A and B are shown apart, each in its own frame.
Chain A
Amino acid sequence: MATGHEQWLEQGDIYALGALDGQEMKDFEAHLASGCAICEAYIREIRESLLLLHRAITPFEPSSAAKSLIFDQIAGDKKFVPIAAVQSKRTGIWQRMVGTIAAGIVGVVITAAYYHYRYEPRHSVYSAVIDLLRDPNTRDVALYGAGPTPAALGRCLWNKSGEGHLFVTNLPAAPEGKMYAVWTIAQESSPRYVASIRTDAKGLGGVHINAAQSDKPIQTFAVTLEPVGTTAAPTGPMVLVSKQS
């Protein structure tokens, strides 16, 4: 270790932790930008050590749908070879027959896949709602229209585990660029975003909620109209709210 480098290394500890701030942060980043190999190697080592802190966290598994969503999102990144381009090279009756049979099989597979993806999630939701209704720890909370939507109504099945399902009626579809955000509010706590909900042309909608379990009982459920992507804290008008329980 280079002599006179101790001060930088001390700051490197806190930098690797992500806690350095203010002028110290600016100075240290300038030092790193100057190409200090000692500090770079040191920070790398500290970051590896910090992985030990992961032993302290409760393990959670993401839902099975999460992987599919990621693969859907990266699908546009892969090089795509159109099937038609491949098929156009095939000539002759046998090849056409093979093509027809293959197309039939593909059609059946696509149809089966369509029904699977179209209806399977819905069945899963129905099952989850039934499970909620069976659970004695599930509350049934009424929500009432507020602000710009006094005629709206809602009903939230809520389990203290953090799982719930919200049904709404008479809530007009959110305007372009807006969404309805669902919040739970525990005693003396700020609202916590738990889901967004869409409604159809008839004003009907529903969403299944899987939030982390709250330490304190949830007192209030609210729905606000927000710009798309707002999840940190409510900023828009409240359209549905429960009475405090």
Chain B
Amino acid sequence: MSAQSISSGYLVQQVAQQDREAFSQLYDRCSSLVFSLAMRMLRVRSDAEDLLQEVFVQIWRQASNYSAERGTPEAWIVNIARSRAIDKLRSIRRMEQSFVLTDDPARAESSDNVETSAAESEAKMAMSSALVNLPEAQRRVLELAYFDGLTQTEIAARLKEPLGTVKTRMRSGIQRLREIMKMQAA
């Protein structure tokens, strides 16, 4: 465990004691991580700032639920943020199904943005040498699940691929990330 994560763990412990200074430091350390994820997933700045607020208020109120045995503070915080963002995304998708203003519901904005954002992310990811060897097909399913909150069945429908293929790509991509993580830890 790095010094950075130990330090964040200590801050979370202090936040559990309602220490506002520790909370301020934790915010300064993790707000960009949460906000960047929220922008990537929700795409509207005001929504992303709402999510940021919800996440940190939850951290303040539930820091005592955190346990180092359950992972790093960063993973715990990201998991809170992703869960909330996915709830919002799924709510948006349900609403879009009954939306009346668009001329062509089949071409919903979120769908277009997924393609655009995926392309953008692929370009960014290509710059990350640690991830450069992840095949495009694997990256794509991981991003659709991780950032766009799609389930395996929804991804199969979106990509018009068999469910088994999508599962295989997901697992292969995850195992590759796991190997990279282990190499970095070694």
**A residues whose Cβ falls under 8 Å from a Cβ of B:** 10, 13-14, 16-22, 44-63, 66-67, 69-71, 73-74, 77-79, 162, 185-186, 188-195, 210-212, 215-216, 222, 231-235
| Interchain CB contact under 8 A, B40 and A58 | yes
Inter-chain contacts of A234 with B (CB < 8 A)? 99-101
Contact A56:B102 (CB < 8 A) given known A21-B151, A50-B177? no
- Asked if B175 is an interface residue, CB under 8 A from chain A, the answer is yes
| Interchain CB contact under 8 A, A46 and B18 | no
Q: Please name the residue on chain B nearest to A59 by beta carbon.
A: B36
| Interchain CB contact under 8 A, B174 and A58 | no
Looking at the assembled complex, report how far the CB atom of B72 sits from the nearest CB atom of chain A, in whole angstroms: 6
| Interchain CB contact under 8 A, B44 and A47 | no
Inter-chain contacts of B130 with A (CB < 8 A)? 52, 55
| Interchain CB contact under 8 A, B146 and A186 | no
| Interchain CB contact under 8 A, B52 and A62 | yes
Summed over the interface, the residue pairs from A and B with CB atoms below 8 Å come to a total of: 214
Contact A66:B181 (CB < 8 A) given known A56-B121, A57-B147, A212-B45? no
| Interchain CB contact under 8 A, B35 and A55 | no
Partner of A48, one of B72, B91, B151: B72
- Asked if B43 is an interface residue, CB under 8 A from chain A, the answer is yes
Tally of chain B residues near chain A (CB < 8 A): 87
| Interchain CB contact under 8 A, A190 and B101 | yes
- The secondary-structure label for the interface of chain B is helix
Contact A18:B170 (CB < 8 A) given known A59-B32, A189-B109? no
Q: Please name the residue on chain B nearest to A69 by beta carbon.
A: B53
Q: Nearest 3 CB-CB pairs, A to B? A: A189-B109, A21-B151, A56-B125
Contact A74:B109 (CB < 8 A) given known A18-B86, A233-B95? no
- Asked if B48 is an interface residue, CB under 8 A from chain A, the answer is yes
| Interchain CB contact under 8 A, A62 and B44 | no
- Bound Cα distance A20, B48 (Å): 25
Looking at the assembled complex, report how far the CB atom of B168 sits from the nearest CB atom of chain A, in whole angstroms: 10
Inter-chain contacts of B175 with A (CB < 8 A)? 13
Looking at the assembled complex, report how far the CB atom of A59 sits from the nearest CB atom of chain B, in whole angstroms: 5
Contact A62:B146 (CB < 8 A) given known A44-B70, A52-B177, A70-B53? no
Looking at the assembled complex, report how far the CB atom of B162 sits from the nearest CB atom of chain A, in whole angstroms: 15
Partner of A185, one of B101, B116, B120, B142: B101
Contact A19:B36 (CB < 8 A) given known A162-B45, A193-B44? no
| Interchain CB contact under 8 A, B171 and A53 | no
Q: Please name the residue on chain A nearest to B125 by beta carbon.
A: A56
Contact A47:B153 (CB < 8 A) given known A13-B174, A56-B121, A66-B49? no
Looking at the assembled complex, report how far the CB atom of A16 sits from the nearest CB atom of chain B, in whole angstroms: 7
Looking at the assembled complex, report how far the CB atom of B11 sits from the nearest CB atom of chain A, in whole angstroms: 15
- Asked if B137 is an interface residue, CB under 8 A from chain A, the answer is no
Looking at the assembled complex, report how far the CB atom of B15 sits from the nearest CB atom of chain A, in whole angstroms: 10
